[in-house]
Chains A and B, each alone.
Chain A
Amino acid sequence: MAQQDKLIQRIWPGFSKSAGYAQLRQAGQPAAYLRHTAELVNDMMDAAVGADPKQWQTDDISGMLLDFLEMAAADDDADAQAIFEETYALMKALLSYLANQGEIGASPQGLTLLFTRFEREIDAAFGAGQAPGFIDWADDPQVAGLPQWQENRVLSLQEEFGEWFNGFVKLKGTAELVKHLGEVGLARALQNFVERAYDGYRKTPRSWSKHVIDAVYQDAQYHQVSGLSPAQWPWLGKALVAFIDYGSKHGFVTKRYAAQVIPWLKSGCQQLIATGLPESSPLAAALQAVIEAAVANGELDPDDPDAISAFEATLQDKLADFGMLDSKVSMIPELPHDPDKLAALVKDAGLVAELVDAFDTDSDFLDQHQKVVEGRRWDRDTAIANHDQALEVGVKLWLLQRDYPFPTAAEIADIVSTVTAFADVMYAQHITTIGAWSPQAFASYRRWLLGREDRETLALFVEIIRRTIAMLYDEATFSKDRARKLQLAIGATPTVDGQGHGQVISLDQGKRRLAKKQRR
């Protein structure tokens, strides 16, 4: 915090004399508000990237701006867009000034390009309701040629692929692919597909277009590196379908994306149609028979790929799951509706334990994890203790809705499962227990989440985690500074009031406070 304060303190005399600052003042923004917002921007960058401004690259700043835009666009407040635009004007002026002065890692030219692209998205985000998390800067069609190849992006893709593939290969349904391709062969074929799509087209799996999939599928270089023999080649289609399907169920790509691409993969490309499912599968036979019948009856035009795609999508819905499903019986203790009575139940340890048992339905949280992160070693007992603590935190957060009200009609199951899943991921991937949660881990997760969830889901997630942090701050689990940084890092407006002592304010209160400051 001291380092950040020094940065703002050091640059403020110069910045307050800059042309950008003068424009802001002429637009009617109060000096105190500008200073306050500058510190907030500094906090956000510190939480997301690190305290050293020299580390702030264009990519980091774009991530922070996207987070901020996403948060503002998801806000129902009528003033949200106005507040965002005024705050963005300051961000732009401040960051441009810092880049011109060589105070940050990003170059002035890189920032100018970034701001130009970003501003195109603001109206789209507020007007058309497009989730800004889907913006892929590297694929801006307005830029001639391909964007610069970045080693860190490839490394992060490789890391993500490893996580994705490790889960995918454990599926029962993957056994058939492994039988034909071998585990190493399957990994090699898919990893090279991922890397070739980036190397050749700068596309990551969540933004693979049909054009890119088709292009990589026919790419001579990919054919060389895929390691697939002619006999194995037809299995690539099924592997891609299953891989994307798994990815959509585990947050690597959105379900919406998978719903568009999977039917196309099975129907849009002849090679993939033929190999989308093993010939021996009764499902493949049934699928083919239904399509042929529809074509024969004149219900389906075989030359219309869109019609085939839609038809296949409908079939896929009907044949959605090949797995064995359990019946689901949930038994929840009756809880009062009155918030005061509900809050009083926090002291009923027996009931809390019972609710924890009722919602402890996830048995997969020990399956995938890092072994060592920054010297911290994963430990099974600690993972279980952390999971149990998270369940209890989630239950208490629900019971204390009087103090931490939820803006949407969230159910207790949403709250408990979100808090628990988040705590499980924090431990599995960063080996940090609840009391040791770090802003860097939060920011990393937030970036990972962007583009994988739709706006409503993401907004609800942020709200739940923000309130979790507020409650844990009130329980003295975190210091005020840590709580603020955690809230910022997850993409929430900090609600731990810097002026008070442990006071927690709501998002709406925070927004109103900001608006009042602006109008002074």
Chain B
Amino acid sequence: MSWTSLAQTVGASLGGSYLFSWLMAVIAGNTTQQLVNRTGRSNGQLWFMKPGILVHEALHAVVGLVFGLHITAFSLRPTADSAAHVSFRYASHSWRARLGLFFSASAPVWGISATLLLLGKRAWWPQQAWAAISPHNLAPDWPWVAGWALLTVMLTFGLALSHQDLVNMWRGTPFLVVLLGLAYAVLAWLAPAALAGWWRVNQLAGGFALVMLALSVVVNRLVTWLVA
């Protein structure tokens, strides 16, 4: 076992997830807060934030269901202390359910990111394979670009994970660590070459994360300029 290899695989997957989620929570949270301050309304009361909130909650719920969590409440109606809410119950002795805590809690970040990246690829590089994408062969499909830009702005408001989301991610983390540790051990034993593939996947995910962070910063600056 190499510590470098462990850091590039298990460490980068976990650390990257947390760093990306936290940065997104900070940037998207700031974007939302600026609009709330400007309008004097809560985000739950602003129509243009509703799609982001809907997708945010739906991703929590759908991913939770996939992992066997039982939804006991789901509402998009704002209350005194929440813009919307979803409640789960889970079998405490089920590994699947416990992994679901991590993935369901973090689902809005990677779910919305994946959606925007896929649509962005379709909008900007409709004819290119993923591996061939570069700034030199941009071929924007403008109607798609317009739709993608609108969606990017709207879904940005659903990217921010709450403090409770981060806590729930943390509660599922021990089981993910064990799972990733086992995967690492098995690969290191049976297919060491696959560890290099894992590291490449992490790098690719890091690249996508940087793109998403850049997009969020652009939306944030745009909002700052608009409300000034």
Contact = CB atoms under 8 A, between A and B. Distances in A.
Interface of A: 281-283, 286, 318-334, 350-351, 354, 357-358, 360-361, 363
Contact of B44 (A325, A330, A333, A360): A325
Given A320-B80, A331-B88, 8 more contacts: A282-B40, A283-B41, A320-B42, A323-B42, A330-B164, A333-B89, A334-B91, A361-B167
A351 B90 CA distance: 12
* 9 A-B pairs with least C-beta separation: A283-B40, A326-B162, A328-B82, A333-B92, A328-B85, A325-B83, A321-B42, A324-B36, A330-B87
Contacts of B36: 322-324
B80 A321 contact: yes
Q: Is the interface of A mostly helix, strand, loop or mixed?
A: mixed
A286 B165 CA distance: 34
Given A320-B42, A331-B101, A361-B164, A325 B88 contact: no
25 contacts: A281-B40, A283-B41, A286-B40, A318-B45, A321-B80, A322-B42, A324-B29, A325-B44, A325-B78, A325-B83, A327-B56, A327-B82, A328-B86, A328-B162, A329-B60, A329-B105, A331-B88, A331-B101, A331-B104, A332-B90, A334-B90, A354-B92, A354-B171, A357-B171, A361-B167
Given A321-B42, A322-B36, A325-B42, A334 B92 contact: yes
Contacts of A363: 163
A325 B43 contact: yes
Contacts of B43: 324-325
A325 B83 CA distance: 5
Interface string B80-114: 11111111111110000000010011000000000
B155 interface: no
Contacts of B200: none
A282 B80 contact: no
A351 B98 CA distance: 12
Nearest to B89: A334
Given A282-B38, A319-B40, A330-B88, A324 B164 contact: no
Interface of B: 29, 32-33, 36, 38-45, 53, 56-57, 60, 69-70, 78, 80-92, 101, 104-105, 160, 162-165, 167-168, 171
A326 B41 CA distance: 14
B42 A329 contact: no
A460 to B, nearest CB: 19
Contacts of A319: 40-41, 45
A332 B41 contact: no
Contact of B164 (A322, A323, A326, A334): A326
Contacts of A330: 85, 87-88, 164
B193 to A, nearest CB: 38
Contacts of A321: 42, 44-45, 78, 80
Nearest to B85: A328
A323 B35 CA distance: 10
Contacts of B80: 320-321
A324 B45 CA distance: 10
A327 B162 contact: yes
A282 B160 CA distance: 25
A357 B167 contact: yes
B29 to A, nearest CB: 7
A476 B97 CA distance: 37
A361 B164 CA distance: 7
A174 to B, nearest CB: 14
A350 B174 CA distance: 13
A327 B40 contact: no
Contacts of A281: 40
Among the interface residues A322, A328, A333, which one has the most CB atoms of the partner chain B within 10 A? A328
A329 B89 contact: no
Contacts of B41: 283, 319, 322
A331 B42 contact: no
A332 B164 contact: no
Contacts of B53: 327
A350 B93 CA distance: 10
Contacts of A286: 40
Among the interface residues A283, A324, A333, A363, which one has the most CB atoms of the partner chain B within 10 A? A324
Nearest to A255: B80
B163 A326 contact: yes
A351 B91 CA distance: 11
A328 B36 CA distance: 18
B84 A332 contact: no
Contacts of A282: 38-40
B52 to A, nearest CB: 10
Given A327-B53, A334-B70, A322 B40 contact: yes
Contacts of B84: 327-328
A329 B29 contact: no
B88 A329 contact: yes
A235 B104 CA distance: 46
Contacts of B38: 282
A327 B57 contact: yes
Nearest to B82: A328
Among the interface residues A331, A333, A351, A358, which one has the most CB atoms of the partner chain B within 10 A? A331
A302 B104 CA distance: 52
Contacts of B105: 329, 331
B167 A328 contact: no
Contacts of A331: 69, 87-90, 101, 104-105, 168, 171
